[in-house]
Structure 1
Amino acid sequence: MGAEALTYGESMREAGGWWRRKSTPAKVETYTRWSFHFFALIYVVSIGLPVFGQVTGPLALWLVLLVCVHAVMCAVTASRALDWTRGRREQPVRTLWALGAVTLAIAVAVIGIGERAPHDDGLGTAVSAVFVGVLTFAAGIGALGVRRRRRVLALVGGFAAGAALGGFPLGYAVPESLVTGMVVLVAAGFLAFTSVLSVWLLNTVYELDEARETRSRLAVAEERLRFGRDLHDVMGRNLAVIALKSELAVQLARRGRDEAVDQMTEVQRIAQETQREVRDVVRGYREADLGIELTGARGVLTAAGIDCEVTGEPGGLPAEVQSALGWVVREATTNVLRHGDAKRCTVAVSIEEERVVLTVENDGMLRSSGGAGGSGLAGLRERLAAVAGTLEAGPARDGVFRLVAEVPLVAAEGVS
């Protein structure tokens, strides 16, 4: 019994993990697809199964079978229409025409059953319900496969008109036929509106996710441009001076003048100065300032649509500690942007018992590839080891990934 309970619990966790591993757009898409499949099930339960309580004999079985066939056709159409919505296939024109043909055939069959079968109140009620249900669901599901509002309105209006005209063969009077058409118009209109709204919502969620990724890439690109501008400012001016002085030295050397040596000495000095300035620029990126990195992480994550909270004051820490922890913040931010589906991230800096503790938590753990054995984290451990620091990374609680870096202040002061 205990083993069975354990197996059941593991299977439930795997099922829950399958859902949590999905991105937000993928979750919305899955929910949308299964909602329309569930509509097909509701269709069978609400329209088909009550027939058994109203009609007896083979007629009941035939009516329920027609409803089931139509429900399956509606589910297939919804699935292919949603694939088209996401650009995974061409517009399912043939499927839509097939749905229309099947709907017409079933409607005609239902009218035939209603005309030729022995008359009783139960059969009339069942035939009317199936007739209205078939037209309603065909119009509502068909709206998934068209985009223009006029076409959706024409689709719903056409099925409503067909319902009104189909009432005459069923023996309805004019008022009853008009009421039947109005019922289909309202019900199919509501279902079509639901379909159009679902498609709009699904597309909007995907567009927002793409915009979020674009903002993340733009933030990274902006940082690269800033580095390029700084490097250009240093190299451009000095290289231009080096080129001019080298050309002057060449001309002086050709004339046998001693000033050529002075010019080349100046070129050497400028080259060494350029080397130093380039090292300073690169050091600004390699030896990250913790305060700047915290501010940058908050800005980048916020721009990517992630709620970021930063607490603690990094001021007054040794330069080596700030550099090492700044790299931790930078790598953790990169992992959250690239690998997770986080909605919230917290970064906290605290001093506890002569040691600095940096904690980064985000709720996008299950899609993260930056696990405890990742190469990025291995590089961080090497940097922290230089200041006697440690790094721990792993799940903190359900769906939350935590990274904790600790650096003892005494050891860091000894290194400095």
Structure 2
Amino acid sequence: MHVREWRRSWQERSKMERIDLYSRFTVSSIPWLFALSWQLAPFKSDIRHEPLPLALGAALLLVSLTQCLLSNRNVRASYEHYLGISVFPVRRLIAPLLLLVLAVALLATLAGVGGVGGSGLLLMSLNTPMAFVITRVLLVPVRTFAIESLLLAVLTTGALAAAGVRGGALAGVMPTALFGSVLVLISIRPSAWSLGVMWQAEEARNIQARLAVAEERLRFGRDMHDVLGRNLAVIALKSELAVELAQRGRPEALDQMVEVQRIARASQQEVRDVVRGYREADLTTELAGAQGVLRAAGIECAVTGGDGTGLPGPVQSALGWVVREAATNVLRHGDPGHCTIRLDVSADAVVLDVENDGAPAAAPEGTGSGLAGLRERLIALDGTLEAGPGDGGVFRLRARIPLAAHPGSAGLPHPAAGDTSRAAAGDAPRAAPGDTPRAAARDPRTTLLEDRR
């Protein structure tokens, strides 16, 4: 149960959140790795197997493990301090600093009683400050960290010298302690820097997306203003003129109101044209856009079959929305490495398949409205939509629209034929058999009823 919950939690995270979690986990595990290797290894042969040295070694190991716990507690806060999200509380360093002083004192005491020597002493000297400096390296500038590391190495060397350590063992303590600090500096600091750069890039992409939405809203507002601004001003003026003419009993008032009616109907049609341009999706454009977006996200995407050229407008629009929603679901819900979009057009139907190896790549049924909205669009064209996991961990989304039942699609050639002249003809309304030209013309009363609807 816990494994499934952990896996679900991992799959719900974005790629950037996974990288962030991996980096923090790695930094948290490093002090434990050092403590359980460098601090335990001397117990085998380097520590003298007598009660006092073993007790001092065990106490030093316990202090080291406690340092690891405090280091893990401070990792998140130190990362957020480095990334500029929050300020690290200085009081959190008091306990780790006291434990570091205690560890140096225990190490000096162990060496003073002759309990450890040789390589064991160097390994313990290397491990003693690791848990503290792993947190400290993210809190101060590099120059400050280097000075503090030098002072810490001098403190450790001085404590061991005061305990009676001499010769090559004492000479190796200073470079060993400095090596540990340099190792932390070149491993932890670049990792945090890379993480900060990636979060900044992620934030920049989010800002770019919000700016694109804002720009689109401004453009829509500008288009609506251009369409309605002049016409509404003319309607207001002509209405005032009609009122004045009507008050004077002039018959020209009727002509002005007829003109107002004509301008209002023209404005309605212009508004519909503007809105239609935002609501309809072009299949060719959506295929190219989905391929570009997925490749930019590091997902290999192949588009095969036709590109939708020659399909009737309503069919292109519906399939364009399917491509857009499928690409969105691949980015949002899955973690695939490859995605295939295939469009097959025959004389009877057009079938769009979107497959990826990151199942599940779509939200479960009932959790979102994307697939339900697509089904509604396809049902209007007698189409169907199927979505679900397939064999081999593949998620497949299939949309099928019959062409024979769609007005204007009779005789539609296969895309391979290269005939694109029927696309516009498929969109044009056709008169029913037996209609006369007069019957096919628009009746003003019918126009008024449609406008009211």
TM range (shorter): 0.7 to 0.9
Q: Is the 8 A contact 1:33 1:79 kept in 2?
A: no
1:281 shift after superposition: 1.9
| 1:60 and 2:54 matched | yes
Instruction: Give the Cα–Cα distance (whole angstroms) in 1 for the partners of residues 155 and 16 of structure 2.
Output: 38
Q: Is the 8 A contact 1:290 1:323 kept in 2?
A: yes
Q: Secondary structure at the match of 1:410?
A: coil
Q: Secondary structure at the match of 1:393?
A: strand
Provide the aligned length of Structure 1 versus Structure 2.
403
Match of residue 447 from structure 2: none
1:107 shift after superposition: 0.5
Instruction: Give the Cα–Cα distance (whole angstroms) in 2 for the partners of residues 238 and 310 of structure 1.
Output: 45
Q: Secondary structure at the match of 2:363?
A: coil
Q: Is the 8 A contact 1:372 1:394 kept in 2?
A: no
Match of residue 77 from structure 1: 71
| Aligned pairs for 1:179-194 within 5 A | 179-194=172-187
Match of residue 112 from structure 1: 109
| 1:44 and 2:10 matched | no
> Cα distance 1:297–1:225, how it changes in 2: closer, same or farther (>3 A)?
farther
Q: Is the 8 A contact 1:370 1:376 kept in 2?
A: no
Deviation larger for 59-68 or 264-273: 59-68
Aligned match for 1:388, one of 368, 382, 385: 382
Q: Is the 8 A contact 2:121 2:169 kept in 1?
A: no
1:342 shift after superposition: 6.2
Q: Is the 8 A contact 1:335 1:370 kept in 2?
A: no
Match of residue 99 from structure 1: 96
Match of residue 279 from structure 1: 272
> Cα distance 1:323–1:124, how it changes in 2: closer, same or farther (>3 A)?
closer
Q: Secondary structure at the match of 1:167?
A: helix
| 1:214 and 2:207 matched | yes
Match of residue 419 from structure 2: none
> Cα distance 1:349–1:225, how it changes in 2: closer, same or farther (>3 A)?
farther
Match of residue 442 from structure 2: none
Q: Secondary structure at the match of 2:13?
A: coil
Aligned match for 2:262, one of 269, 274, 278: 269
Instruction: Give the Cα–Cα distance (whole angstroms) in 1 for the partners of residues 170 and 217 of structure 2.
Output: 70
Q: Secondary structure at the match of 1:347?
A: strand
Instruction: Give the Cα–Cα distance (whole angstroms) in 2 for the partners of residues 342 and 112 of structure 1.
Output: 56
> Cα distance 1:303–1:30, how it changes in 2: closer, same or farther (>3 A)?
closer
| Aligned pairs for 1:293-308 within 5 A | 293-298=286-291
Cα deviation digits, residues 29-84 of structure 1 (max 9, x gap)? 32223323332232223222223222213322431332242233234324423234
| Aligned pairs for 1:143-162 within 5 A | 143-144=137-138, 146-162=139-155
Match of residue 129 from structure 1: 123
Instruction: Give the Cα–Cα distance (whole angstroms) in 1 for the partners of residues 303 and 323 of structure 2.
Output: 11
| 1:203 and 2:203 matched | no
| 1:22 and 2:13 matched | yes
Q: Is the 8 A contact 1:213 1:304 kept in 2?
A: no
1:134 shift after superposition: 0.3
Instruction: Give the Cα–Cα distance (whole angstroms) in 1 for the partners of residues 77 and 38 of structure 2.
Output: 27
Q: Is the 8 A contact 1:301 1:333 kept in 2?
A: yes
Match of residue 253 from structure 1: 246
1:176 shift after superposition: 5.6
> Cα distance 1:224–1:305, how it changes in 2: closer, same or farther (>3 A)?
farther
Match of residue 349 from structure 2: 355
1:389 shift after superposition: 1.1
Q: Secondary structure at the match of 2:406?
A: helix
Bigger radius of gyration:
2
Aligned match for 2:25, one of 5, 23, 34: 34
Q: Is the 8 A contact 1:365 1:399 kept in 2?
A: yes
**2:64 counterpart letter in structure 1:** H
Instruction: Give the Cα–Cα distance (whole angstroms) in 2 for the partners of residues 308 and 229 of structure 1.
Output: 36
Match of residue 166 from structure 1: 159
Q: Is the 8 A contact 1:288 1:324 kept in 2?
A: yes
Q: Which has the higher helix share?
A: 1
Q: Secondary structure at the match of 1:322?
A: helix
Q: Is the 8 A contact 2:231 2:267 kept in 1?
A: yes
Instruction: Give the Cα–Cα distance (whole angstroms) in 2 for the partners of residues 349 and 336 of structure 1.
Output: 18
Instruction: Give the Cα–Cα distance (whole angstroms) in 2 for the partners of residues 229 and 400 of structure 1.
Output: 44
Instruction: Give the Cα–Cα distance (whole angstroms) in 2 for the partners of residues 343 and 107 of structure 1.
Output: 50
1:372 shift after superposition: 7.4
**1:378 counterpart letter in structure 2:** A
> Cα distance 1:387–1:85, how it changes in 2: closer, same or farther (>3 A)?
same
Unaligned stretches of 5+ in structure 2? Answer: 410-425, 427-453
Identity, in percent, stands at 42
Match of residue 7 from structure 1: none
Deviation larger for 214-223 or 35-44: 214-223
> Cα distance 1:228–1:301, how it changes in 2: closer, same or farther (>3 A)?
farther
| Aligned pairs for 1:1-12 within 5 A | none
1:353 shift after superposition: 6.2
Aligned match for 1:227, one of 220, 224, 228: 220
Aligned match for 1:236, one of 229, 236, 239: 229
1:398 shift after superposition: 6.3
Deviation larger for 130-139 or 368-377: 368-377
> Cα distance 1:125–1:280, how it changes in 2: closer, same or farther (>3 A)?
closer
1:351 shift after superposition: 1.5
Match of residue 4 from structure 1: none
Match of residue 376 from structure 1: 370
In angstroms, what is the RMSD of aligned CA positions? Answer: 3.3
Instruction: Give the Cα–Cα distance (whole angstroms) in 1 for the partners of residues 65 and 257 of structure 2.
Output: 87
**2:33 counterpart letter in structure 1:** I
Q: Secondary structure at the match of 2:351?
A: strand
> Cα distance 1:362–1:260, how it changes in 2: closer, same or farther (>3 A)?
farther
Deviation larger for 351-360 or 219-228: 219-228
